């Protein structure tokens, strides 16, 4: 069933299921699944949305890698669940990066990369050379708890992130509000890594969050004016140092598409890789099929929303 509690039933001490993140993402409900015999429950935060032009609704996990609160019950077979009580057409679930997973199976998405502090790490020579050059030129890098970052660093992060989204022609969903960033900055599970140019301006920055036994490179960007120097490499160096300091693997994410430049960039900083998983759950097959009629075939889920892609 769906509980209209803004995700309160799925809260935990992990960033992607924290009050800060669920507020920032405007989570509306908790999906509660109960095993009849044992009364074990699985609780997943969701954003329930109206399907435009209809009386139906669907749902999606908040951004990131939230999974759910498993309480010792995981890998639930989704086809065995009676979805009628949700009164939803479909649900898109984003799993944790490294289990326990809510549901068995799932769709393996793009390759993602890690810095494992327990394994040898050799950075790509070009990355090391550029990092040393930037230090010689007067670029200065720091990493600190986001709550302790001075206002100019927070403002600098927001600006270089915005410039990056404009440069990459990102869809509107990724242009987060100031309120969203304030929730992030306020989290005790967030760090801000920053590289400043010789004139003191923020050249590149990244927000790192701790969730489910990993540090995650969550959001980041580089100023247009400093792209040629690739100061993001120095930021990645600071994030790697933080993971060693905390003794936690750092999840760098992957590329925008397999084999692209971003994937290659992250591969040069990593010493491990894996896959992320999602679940595409159809709760009402008849309504899903009806709504999807006339939409082009693609991997996008739910199919009936594909026409609204920017």
Residues linked to residue 144 through DSSP beta bridges, in sequence order:
192
- Give pLDDT, residue 306: 87
Q: Give me the architecture of the 2-109+277-308 domain, per CATH.
A: 3-Layer(aba) Sandwich (3.40)
Calpha distance 30→186 (Å, rounded) = 23
pLDDT of residue 310: 42
Q: CB-based contacts of 40: which residues, under 8 Å, 6+ apart? A: 34, 71, 72, 73
Annotated domain spans of the chain: 2-109+277-308, 117-270
Cα–Cα nearest to 193, from 211, 219, 170: 219
User: What class is the 117-270 domain?
Assistant: alpha beta
What's the pLDDT at 39? 84
Query: What is the mean pLDDT of each successive set of 10 residues along the chain, which is 310 residues long?
Result: 97 97 98 90 97 97 96 91 96 94 94 96 94 98 98 98 96 94 98 98 98 98 97 97 97 90 93 96 97 88 76
- Rounded CA separation 260/110 (Å): 11
**pLDDT at position 307, please?**
65
| Residue 2 in tokens | 């769906």
Report the predicted TM-score, pTM, of the whole model to 2 decimal places. Answer: 0.94
Q: Hey, do 2-109+277-308 and 117-270 end up sharing a CATH topology, with the first three levels equal?
A: yes
Nearest alpha-carbon partner for 222 in 272, 262, 188, 275? 262
Pick from 154, 216, 203: nearest CA to 181: 154
Q: Say whether 236 sits in a helix, a strand or coil.
A: helix
């Amino acid at each position: 069933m769906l509980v209209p509690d803004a995700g309160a039933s799925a809260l935990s001490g992990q960033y992607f299921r924290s009050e800060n993140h669920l507020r920032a993402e405007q989570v509306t409900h908790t999906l509660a699944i109960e095993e009849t015999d044992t009364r074990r429950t699985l609780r997943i935060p969701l954003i329930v949305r109206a399907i435009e032009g209809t009386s139906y609704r669907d749902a999606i996990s908040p951004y990131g890698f939230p999974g759910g609160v498993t309480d010792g019950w995981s890998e639930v077979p989704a086809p065995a669940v009676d979805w009628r009580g949700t009164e939803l057409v479909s649900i898109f679930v984003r799993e944790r990066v490294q289990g326990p997973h809510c549901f068995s199976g799932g769709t393996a998405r793009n390759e993602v990369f890690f810095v494992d502090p327990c394994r040898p790490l050799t950075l790509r020579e070009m990355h090391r050379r550029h990092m040393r050059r930037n230090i010689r030129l007067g670029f200065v890098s720091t990493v600190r708890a986001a709550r302790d970052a001075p206002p100019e660093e927070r403002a600098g992060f927001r600006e270089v992130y915005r410039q990056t989204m404009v440069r990459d022609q990102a869809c509107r969903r990724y242009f987060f509000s100031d309120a969203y960033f304030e929730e992030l900055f306020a989290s005790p599970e967030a760090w801000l890594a920053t590289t400043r140019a010789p004139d003191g301006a923020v050249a590149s920055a990244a927000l790192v969050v701790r969730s489910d036994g990993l540090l995650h490179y969550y959001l980041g960007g580089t100023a247009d004016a400093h792209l040629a120097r690739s100061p993001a490499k120095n930021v990645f160096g600071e994030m790697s140092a933080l993971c060693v300091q905390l003794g936690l693997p750092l999840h760098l994410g992957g590329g925008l598409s397999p084999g692209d430049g971003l994937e290659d960039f992250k591969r040069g900083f990593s010493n491990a890789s894996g896959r992320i998983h999602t679940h595409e759950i159809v709760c009402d097959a008849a309504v899903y099929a009806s709504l999807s009629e006339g939409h082009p075939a693609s991997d996008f889920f739910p199919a009936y929303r594909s026409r609204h892609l920017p």
